[in-house]
């Protein structure tokens, strides 16, 4: 039986991934590579929709790739590459743009939210066409499954519509992909504002655990996380959002169930519990940070890993593009 094909991408828009990115996304990537034919890319071209200093883009692209590897994305088990290394993404992206209605693209909520925030003069056209490039990322690899967060569901729906539209106009060309929406339990909240998701665009980073932060900083952030009322360590998202979030974090990293943790901390205070969570987080992240720094120290070896990944990706991408061009009537 052939393995199902998986594709996902992550933007290199920050100096470090946070715990939400890991538990909500990358951890699933690591799981899926075991039984699937997985393609994972750092979508550096998508990151150009936000103006970034060139040195910073370069650094963030490499640190993203290094963190993925340190977190367990294994270049020997999956195909790990940079989007910009495969020109076919832009080539198919244009075709997707020619297939998408203006109104259809205007209905994308991520575009509406982001463009509203910056105003039309500061919104680039690339932000508008972002979902069509994302569709190309997915369809080039004939992906069956696309692991993403809930916020990406609409983009995957658009990708499915575009693939279906192309196939019915020009003949069977693309696999229709399915969104593989990660489980709700994997949503990690901000430590200071535990009713909002942990996010790299948070107003303050005090509630955000970053993989590349030092163990001391991360331990401190957990110990000074927002304290709920009461004293009991119990999972109750309404009454105790802070403690519930910490229980989710502990359980996801230690592999122990929430009820086991509730029993262990029965009769103990929040202070003891926070120290235990800090220890679990620090013990888990410290080797990952060290491994990321090691990978970054040998930049040419890291770039070589990405080139090898790109060579594997290119075989599939070019085959799909040739088929697409032929079906469109482009002389090849």
**Given 11, 21, 100, 248, the residue binding ligand LTN (CB under 6 A):** 11
Q: Which listed residue (197, 220, 312, 323) is catalytic?
A: 197
What crossing angle do the helices spanning 299-328 and 270-297 adopt, rounded to 10°?
80
User: Taking CB under 6 A as the criterion, which residues in 202-241 touch ligand LTN?
Assistant: none
- Any bridge partners for residue 42, and if so which? 10, 82
Cα distances (angstroms) measured from residue 40 to each of 36, 98, 241, 285: 12, 26, 33, 22
- Is residue 27 part of the annotated active site? The answer reads no
Number of neighbours of residue 199 by Cβ within 10 angstroms:
16
Dihedrals φ, ψ of 64, to 5°? -65, -45
**Given 175, 199, 206, 254, the residue binding ligand ATP (CB under 6 A):** 199
Q: Which listed residue (4, 27, 187, 200) is catalytic?
A: 200
Question: By CB under 6 A, is residue 148 in contact with ligand LTN?
Answer: yes
Work out what residue 326 binds among ligand ATP, ligand LTN, none; the CB cut-off runs from 5 to 8 Å by kind.
none
Work out what residue 52 binds among ligand LTN, ligand ATP, none; the CB cut-off runs from 5 to 8 Å by kind.
none
Question: By CB under 6 A, is residue 85 in contact with ligand LTN?
Answer: no
What is 62-111 written as a DSSP string? HHHHHHHHHTT--TTTSEEEEGGG-THHHHHHHHHHTTS-HHHHHT-HHH
Tokens encoding 327? 């079906």
User: Taking CB under 6 A as the criterion, which residues in 127-166 touch ligand ATP?
Assistant: 148-149, 151
Question: By CB under 6 A, is residue 6 in contact with ligand LTN?
Answer: no
- Is residue 274 part of the annotated active site? The answer reads no
Q: What sign for the dihedral angle of Cα 250, 246, 294, 147?
A: positive
Q: Is 240 helix (H, G, I), strand (E, B) or coil?
A: strand
**Given 5, 6, 8, 12, the residue binding ligand LTN (CB under 6 A):** 8
Size of the site for ligand ATP (CB under 6 A): 18
Closest approach, Cβ 221 to ligand ATP, in A, equals: 15
Active site (catalytic) residues: 114, 197, 200
Binding site for ligand LTN (CB under 6 A): 7-9, 11, 43, 46, 134, 137-138, 146, 148, 152, 155
């Amino acid at each position: 039986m052939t393995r199902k094909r998986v594709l996902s991408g992550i933007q290199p828009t920050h100096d470090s991934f946070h715990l939400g990115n890991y538990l909500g996304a990358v951890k699933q990537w690591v799981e899926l590579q075991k039984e699937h034919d997985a393609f994972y890319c750092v979508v550096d071209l998508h990151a150009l929709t936000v103006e970034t200093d060139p040195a910073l883009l370069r650094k963030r692209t490499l640190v993203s790739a290094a963190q993925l590897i340190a977190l367990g994305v294994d270049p020997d088990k999956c195909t790990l590459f940079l989007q910009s290394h495969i020109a076919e993404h832009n080539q198919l992206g244009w075709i997707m743009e020619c297939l998408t209605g203006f109104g259809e693209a205007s209905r994308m909520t991520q575009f509406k939210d982001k463009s509203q925030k910056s105003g039309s003069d500061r919104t680039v056209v690339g932000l508008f066409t972002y979902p069509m490039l994302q569709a190309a990322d997915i369809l080039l690899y004939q992906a069956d499954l696309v692991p993403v967060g809930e916020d990406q569901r609409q983009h995957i729906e658009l990708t499915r519509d575009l693939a279906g539209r192309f196939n019915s106009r020009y003949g069977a060309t693309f696999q229709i992909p399915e969104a593989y929406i990660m489980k709700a339990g994997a949503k990690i909240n901000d430590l200071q504002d535990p009713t909002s998701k942990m996010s790299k665009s948070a107003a303050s980073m005090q509630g955000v655990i970053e993989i590349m932060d030092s163990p001391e900083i991360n331990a401190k952030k957990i110990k000074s996380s927002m304290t709920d009322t009461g004293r009991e360590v119990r999972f109750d998202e309404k009454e105790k959002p802070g403690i519930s979030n910490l229980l989710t974090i502990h359980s996801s990293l230690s592999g122990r169930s929430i009820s086991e943790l509730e029993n262990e901390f029965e009769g103990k205070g929040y202070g003891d519990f926070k120290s235990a969570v800090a220890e679990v987080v620090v013990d888990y992240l410290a080797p990952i940070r060290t491994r990321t720094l090691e990978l970054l120290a040998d930049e040419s070896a890291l770039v070589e890993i990405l080139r090898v990944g790109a060579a594997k990706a290119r075989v599939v991408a070019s085959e799909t593009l040739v088929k697409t061009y032929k079906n469109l009537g482009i002389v090849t």
